[in-house]
Amino acid sequence: MPSYTIPSSVLIVGSGVFGLSTAWALTQRPEYADTKITVVDNASACGGEFPPLDSASVDSSRIIRADYADPHYAALAAVAQAEWRRQGDDELGGQGRYSESGLLLTADHPAATTTTTTKQGKLTGMDYTKESWRNVARIAREAGHPPDKVRILESAQALKEHLGTPGRPGDWGYLNTLSGWADAGEGMRWQYRRVKATGRVEFVDAHVAELVTEGNRVVGAKLASGGVLRAELVFVAAGAWTGALIDVRGRVEATGHVVAYVDITPEERDVLARQPVVLNLTSGLFFIPPRDTVLKVARHSFGYLNPVAVPRALPPSPAAAAAQRRDGGRPIADADLRRAFRDLVPLRGLEDRPWRETRLCWYADTRDGDWLVDYHPGWEGLFVATGDSGHGYKFLPVLGDKVLDCIERRGGELGDKWKWKHVPEGDTVGRETNGRFRGLITEDGSRGGYPGMILEDELARKAEAKL
C-alpha cells in the first residue's frame, strides 16, 4: 500500500453531504493546518447559495435511522444518531433540525413467483426488514434501552391498526421509536455555516466541465468558464453527477426517485405529526411526518434510468480510450405515490389532492449498496466518494471523519467495504448493447418497485395519457 503524505492542497468537487462533511473533517485535524482547502460547486442556478438547492442532500426531510440489514451501516448510523439527538441551538439536532418520531419499517411477503428482486442469493424487502430489526434491537439492548423501544407488528392487521390506514401497509414490520427524521436542507445549511466559520475553506461557485490531467495524474478541474482550479489532491464528491466527470460504468449509476408534496390543513398536520415515519421496503413507498402544512411522500425504489451520452468523463486510465456514460431527467409516478396515501397515511382524501410540487431525487447507486470511497486505481491524485445509494445524509455528523480516514489509507472495515470494485471484462452494466441500455440495479433488498425503468419511456407514457 502506498504511504500517505499530507497534501498541500485539496480540491473538493461537490458541496453535498460527502463534500461538506469531509471539508469539516479536514479543518478539524491539526495536521492539515497548512493545507489549502477549496470546495467548488455550481450554485449560480440556485441564487449562489451553498449548498445548492438542487443538491440531493437538500430537501424538506430525510429519514434518520440505524435500521440497516448490514451491521456495519447500522453501527455507524447509531453513532450518527447520538449526534442528531443533541438539541442545543448550535448543535446539529437543535432548532427543529431533528425529530425523533419513530420509524415503522415494513415489507410484504415475497411473491410466489421468482422475480429480479427475489432471485437466489439476494435479500428481499422482507429479509432486509427482519435483519434490520435484529440489528436495531441488539443496538438498543446494548445501549440499555427498554425492550419496548423496538417492537414487532407481526401481521398486516396489526400494522393497519397501529397506523389507522384502510390500505395495506405491509405483511410484517416493526416500530423503532429510536429513529426519526431530519430537516435535510437546514442540516446542510448548518454544516455549511460551521465549515465557512472556520475561515479555512474557500467556496467557488462554478460548474466543473471536466477533470484536468497531466500524464497519469489528475491535477485539477476545468470550469465551464475556461478557468482551472488546481490541487495536489482532487476529491470528487459529485453524487449522481460523478459519471459526468469520471467513467464509473458498472460501479455507480445515477437513478431518479420520485418525490411529491401536497398541501394539508393545520388540523391534518396535527394528526400526521404524531405518526412515525413509515417505509415499506417492498413497494419502496414512504411517508415522513410534516412539521408545517406540506406533506411529503416518495418512493425509494430501483429508480429511473436516463441514458444520455457524456463525452468528457475521465476514462479508466491514461491508456484507455474516452468512453460514454448516461445520466439526467425528471418524471412523475402519480399512481404509485397516491397509493402511499392509502396504505401508509391515516387520513382520507389526500390521495385525490393535487400535487403542490413533484421532483426527482437523484441517487448514486451501486450494485450491492456499498459506497465507493477510494482512490481511483487508474489515476494518481484522484479520490472519489460517491455511490451512497440514497443513504448518505443520515451519516452527516460522522461521515467526513470516515472518508478522511480512507483518504489517509486507514479506513478499516468500512474502508474495505468501500474500495473500488473490479468489473469483469465484457460486463455490459451501464452500457448500451445492440441498441438497449442495461442499467445498474441495487440488489441489497432495500429497493422496491420495478427494476430497469427508463425515464424516457415513462415520460412518453405520460404524454400519451394526456392526448
CB atoms within 10 A of CB 435: 5
What is the rounded CA–CA span in Å between residue 216 and residue 317? 8
Instruction: Report the run of H or E that residue 11 belongs to, with start and end.
Output: strand 9-13
Where does residue 68 rank: exposed (0-12), middle (13-18), buried (19+ CB within 10 A)? buried
Number of H helices, E strands in the chain: 10, 24
**Predicted pLDDT at 325:** 35
- 209 phi/psi in degrees, rounded to 5: -85, -40
User: What residue has cell string 440497516?
Assistant: 68
Instruction: Strands of 336-378 (E only): list them.
Output: 357-365, 372-375
What is the rounded CA–CA span in Å between residue 323 and residue 309? 9
What does the CA dihedral 357, 358, 362, 366 come to, rounded to 10 degrees?
130
Instruction: Give the CATH number of domain 9-438.
Output: 3.50.50.60
- pLDDT tens, residue order, the chain (467 aa): 788 999 999 999 999 999 999 999 999 999 999 999 999 999 987 788 888 888 888 888 999 999 999 999 999 999 999 999 999 999 999 999 999 999 999 999 987 444 444 444 578 999 999 999 999 999 999 999 999 999 999 999 999 999 999 999 999 999 999 999 999 999 999 999 999 999 999 999 999 999 999 999 999 999 999 999 999 999 999 999 999 999 999 999 999 999 999 999 999 999 999 999 999 999 999 999 999 999 999 999 999 988 777 778 898 888 773 333 333 333 548 888 999 999 999 999 999 999 999 988 999 999 999 999 999 999 999 999 999 999 999 999 999 999 999 999 999 999 999 999 988 888 888 888 777 888 888 989 999 877 888 887 777 766 555 54
CB atoms within 10 A of CB 465: 8
What is the rounded CA–CA span in Å between residue 87 and residue 457? 46
Grid cell, residue 139, equals 443496538
What is the rounded CA–CA span in Å between residue 184 and residue 193? 14
Where does residue 88 rank: exposed (0-12), middle (13-18), buried (19+ CB within 10 A)? exposed
Give Dmax over CA atoms of the chain in angstroms: 64
Provide the whole-model pTM: 0.91
Which residues, at least 6 apart from 90, have a Cβ–Cβ distance to it below 8 Å? Answer: none
**Predicted pLDDT at 464:** 56
DSSP states of 93-135? TTTTTEE---EEEEEPPPPSS--GGG-TTS--HHHHHHHHHHH
- DSSP type of residue 32: G
What is the rounded CA–CA span in Å between residue 61 and residue 318? 41
Instruction: Strands of 368-449 (E only): list them.
Output: 372-375, 382-386, 431-433, 436-438
**Predicted pLDDT at 463:** 57
Specify which residues 295 forms β-bridges with. 262
